[in-house]
Amino acid sequence: MNSSTEKGVIGFIGLGVMGKSMARNLMKAGYRLHVHNRTKNKADELLQEGAVWHDSAESLARQADVTITMVEYPRDVEQIVLGQNGILAAAKEGSLLIDMTTSSPALAERIYEACLKRGVRALDAPVSGGDIGARDGKLSIMVGGDEDAFTSALPVFQAMGSNIVYQGKAGAGQHTKMCNQIAIAGNMMGVTEALAYAERSGLDPTVVLQSIETGAAGSWSLSNLGPRIIAGNYAPGFYVKHMIKDLGIALQSAEAMGLEAHGLSLARSLYERLAETGEAESGTQALIKLYRQDQ
C-alpha cells in the first residue's frame, strides 16, 4: 500500500481458527477492517470491535484497498477470487489481492495472471505458526509475486507476522509453504512416535520432554504441541483435514517436478487413516491416537 492508503481499508475473507486473529491484529494496527465469511456468526466478535460486515466477497472487494483471503481449500480460493461474482470481478484498479490460504502454486500463478489483466496486483502469502502465531502476530509469512507489490504490502504483513520473507515470483510463496508442510509433517510423525514410545516404556512424558526438547530433537512442534498431547488437548491449532489437503497439494507438486517424496507420502497416509477414525476436525497432534490404538 502507498502512503495515501497506509491505514486504508482492508477486506478480510475467512475468519477461521487463524483468520480471526489475523484480522483482529490488522484492526489493532489501525487498519479499517471489512470482513466476509461463509458463516456470519464467526465474525460477531470482530463486528463488535468495529469491523464492517459484507454479505459477499464482491461487495467487500469494491471497498477494499487490500483484499486478503484466508479460506480452506484451493477450490474456495478459485471460486472467491476468480468466480463470476468474486473478488476480481469487483476489485478496484490498482488494489492489491493477497491470498494467505495454503493453496496450489499453479493456482497462485493463474490468479496472478488474471489480476495482471485487470490492473490488480496479486501476492500469494501463505503462513505458518498456527493459532498461537496468529494470535500473537508472530506468523511466518512466505510471499510470492512482484517485489514492488511485496514492498508496498510489508506494513500489512508486519501487523500479522514477525518472519516475513519475499520468496520470488508468483507461486513461490505457495511452493515455500509446501516445504514448510513437508517438514512439519515429518516432524509431527517423530514427535508423536517419540511420545508414544515414552508412554509405552513407562516413562513420564513430561519429564522426557525436559530432556529432549532443548537438544538436537527440539522443534516448535515438540515444545508447543508436545504438552498438548500429554494433556490430552487435541483442539485444532491446525486441522487434520487441512493437513491432508496441504500434503495432497505438496505431493501433486512434487510429482509434477519428478520428486519422489517418501516421508510426505507416509505422512499423508497416516493422516488419512486418522481422519477415517473421526479425527478430521482435531488438531494435527491427534496423530498420537494412531499409536495408542495399537495397545
pLDDT per position as a tens digit, 189-212: 999 999 999 999 999 999 999 999
Whether residues 19 and 100 fall in one domain: yes
User: Mind listing the pLDDT tens digit for each residue in 62-93?
Assistant: 999 999 999 999 999 999 999 988 999 999 99
- Does 162 have pLDDT greater than 50? yes
Q: What is the 3-state secondary structure (H, E, C) of 45-57?
A: HHHHCCCEECCCH
Question: Are residues 19 and 105 located together in one domain of the fold?
Answer: yes
Residues 140 and 23 in one domain: yes
Average pLDDT, the chain: 94
Of the residues 150, 169, 188, the one at which a domain ends:
169
pTM, entire model? 0.89
Domain finish residue from 154, 169, 184 = 169
91/184 same-domain check: no
* Same domain membership, residue 125 and residue 186: no
The 10s digit of each residue's pLDDT in 221-240 is: 999 999 999 999 999 988 99
pLDDT of res. 293:
81
Q: How far is CA 248 from the centre of its chain?
A: 15
pLDDT of residue 118 exceeding 50, the answer is yes
Beta pairing partners, 218: none
Q: Residue 294: its pLDDT value, please?
A: 55
Q: For 216, phi and psi rounded to 5 degrees?
A: -65, -20
Question: Quick check: is 177 catalytic?
Answer: yes
For residues 195 and 159, state if they share a domain. no
CA-based nearest residue to 178, from 233, 123, 257: 257
CATH of the domain at 214: 1.10.1040.10
- Whether the CB-CB separation of 112 and 80 falls below 8 Å is answered with no
8 and 69 assigned to the same domain: yes
pLDDT digits (tens, 9 = 90+) for 230-289: 999 999 988 999 999 999 999 999 999 999 999 999 999 999 999 999 999 999 999 999
Tally of structural domains, the chain: 2
**Confidence class of residue 137 from pLDDT cuts 50, 70 and 90?**
very high
Candidates 46, 42, 100; CA nearest to 70 is: 100
Place of cell 468495529: 50
Which entry of 40, 169, 177, 241 is annotated as an active-site residue? 177
Same domain, 164 and 257: no
The domain of 40 spans: 3-169
How sure is the predictor about 5, in pLDDT bands with cuts at 50, 70 and 90? very low
- Look up the CATH number of the domain holding residue 152: 3.40.50.720
Residues 269 and 247 in one domain: yes
